[in-house]
Amino acid sequence: MDRRSVADELLEQTIVGSFSRIGIGLRRRVFAWPPFTGGSLDGRTVLITGPTSGLGRAATDALAALGARVILVGPSQDRLAGVRNALVAAHGVDRFPIVVADMGSLASVRAAVTRVLETESRLDVLIDNAGAIFQERIEGPDGIEATFTTLVVGPFVLVSDLLQLLQRTPGSRVISVTSGGMYSQRLHLDDLEWRSEPFSGSRAYARAKRAQVALVREWARRLGPRGIVINAMHPGWVATPGLAESLPGLYGLIRPLLRTPAEGADTIVWLAAAADARVRSGALFVDRRPRPFDRIPTTRLSATDRRRLWEMVVGLSGMPDPLPER
Ligand SMILES: NC(=O)c1ccc[n+]([C@@H]2O[C@H](COP(=O)([O-])OP(=O)(O)OC[C@H]3O[C@@H](n4cnc5c(N)ncnc54)[C@H](OP(=O)(O)O)[C@@H]3O)[C@@H](O)[C@H]2O)c1
């Protein structure tokens, strides 16, 4: 390992160092990241969920600046229109279609996919970014606990139903935005929807994020060499409206250490645009480098657990298995 990698690994051991703005500042300097090449996404199509706020908005701005056609997916027509208008004003062209979808409703996700398939002939990058923390246990219109639908089952249906379009697009990529909070939680496969245990919004969120990453690994295994590369990333701690609203205590405490949304979105943009980001699939990235899936041995999910999770999510989605085992 070279000296830069040793420094990076030491930083990764310290959660505050790695997750805060200190982490990205040091890594940017140590590895001398080159700027993204202007026009590198000309002619490419990116779909992003949650482009109206925080990380999604910062990633959208950066991807649009690199030339991408960006499909904006979110629950509010008005908020999406606000982002599209700002992008059209900034770039002078309208390559920013709007698709209304609530990731917490499978019917809504399916309707969004139908719209995308009607208008798009390629999909180079799909970014599963939308996220929220629910303070109480509620069930969405599909009768599934809302955190698990919004962060896991909804995105699973989105990727599954867009799989053929992704497969037809050479070099396509799927990026899942997860959270370092997942390191703190073990997934309870016998109670994914908090039917037995007293509900905790922040723990439900962290477990759903762990499930999301486990599914990324399972997607990568099942896709094999089919051309689509799928990876997860976590952005560190980022000053976004989402963090301020859902975890105000943490936000106040670590405010000076928070990354800007552009810093938090850097690895999303890198995974979407950089040639060397396509060499791995089924990995978890932080600051452009693959990282461990666990920090505590008891949170580890075996390959059998991941297969079981996949089958449970397929069951909840109500659709046939998109990539059945042979
Ligand atoms: N901020 C952090 O420190 C941090 C750390 C780790 C991971 N993350 C992850 O990063 C991602 C973005 O978070 P953020 O901090 O940028 O949050 P944010 O500012 O609250 O933005 C969340 C975005 O998700 C959209 N969204 C929420 N619920 C949705 C639903 N049911 N269907 C479709 N879209 C929905 C929102 O759309 P509307 O505005 O239209 O409602 C908004 O565009 C999330 O997955 C989050 O878990 C954030």
DSSP secondary structure string for all residues of 208-248: HHHHHHHHHHHHHHHHTTSS-EEEEE---SB--HHHHHH-H
How confident is the model at residue 226, as a pLDDT? 78
**Measured distance CA(243)–CA(11) in Å, rounded:** 23
212 within ligand 1 shell (Cβ under 6 A): no
Return phi, psi of residue 231, to 5°.
Answer: -140, 160
Residue with CA nearest ligand 1 atom 42: 50
104 within ligand 1 shell (Cβ under 6 A): yes
Q: Which helix (H) or strand (E) holds 48?
A: strand 45-49
Taking the mean position of all CA atoms in its chain, how far away is CA 156?
A: 11
Per the annotation, the verdict on 183 as an active-site residue is no
103 within ligand 1 shell (Cβ under 6 A): yes
How confident is the model at residue 297, as a pLDDT? 92
How confident is the model at residue 1, as a pLDDT? 76
Cα of 304 from ligand 1 centre, angstroms: 30
| Strand pairing class (229-233; 289-291) | unpaired
Q: Which helix (H) or strand (E) holds 116?
A: helix 106-119
Residue with CA nearest ligand 1 atom 25: 50
CA angle 89, 93, 94 (to 5 degrees): 95
How confident is the model at residue 260, as a pLDDT? 98
How confident is the model at residue 97, as a pLDDT? 98
How confident is the model at residue 306, as a pLDDT? 98
Tell me the best of 108, 212, 243 to mutate to test the pocket of ligand 1, counting ligand atoms within 8 Å of each CB and taking the most.
243
130 within ligand 1 shell (Cβ under 6 A): yes
Instruction: Tell me yes or no: is domain 34-317 CATH 3.40.50.720.
Output: yes
52 within ligand 1 shell (Cβ under 6 A): yes
215 within ligand 1 shell (Cβ under 6 A): no
Cα of 50 from ligand 1 centre, angstroms: 6
Residue of 96, 205, 285, 293 with catalytic role: 205
Each residue's pLDDT, cut to its tens digit, for the chain (326 residues) gives 788 999 899 999 999 999 999 999 999 999 999 989 888 999 999 999 999 999 999 999 999 999 999 999 999 999 999 999 999 999 999 999 999 999 999 999 999 999 999 999 999 999 999 999 999 999 999 999 999 999 999 999 999 999 999 999 999 999 999 999 999 999 999 999 999 999 999 999 999 999 999 999 999 999 998 789 999 999 999 999 999 999 899 899 999 999 999 999 999 999 999 998 988 999 999 999 999 999 999 999 999 999 999 999 999 999 999 999 87
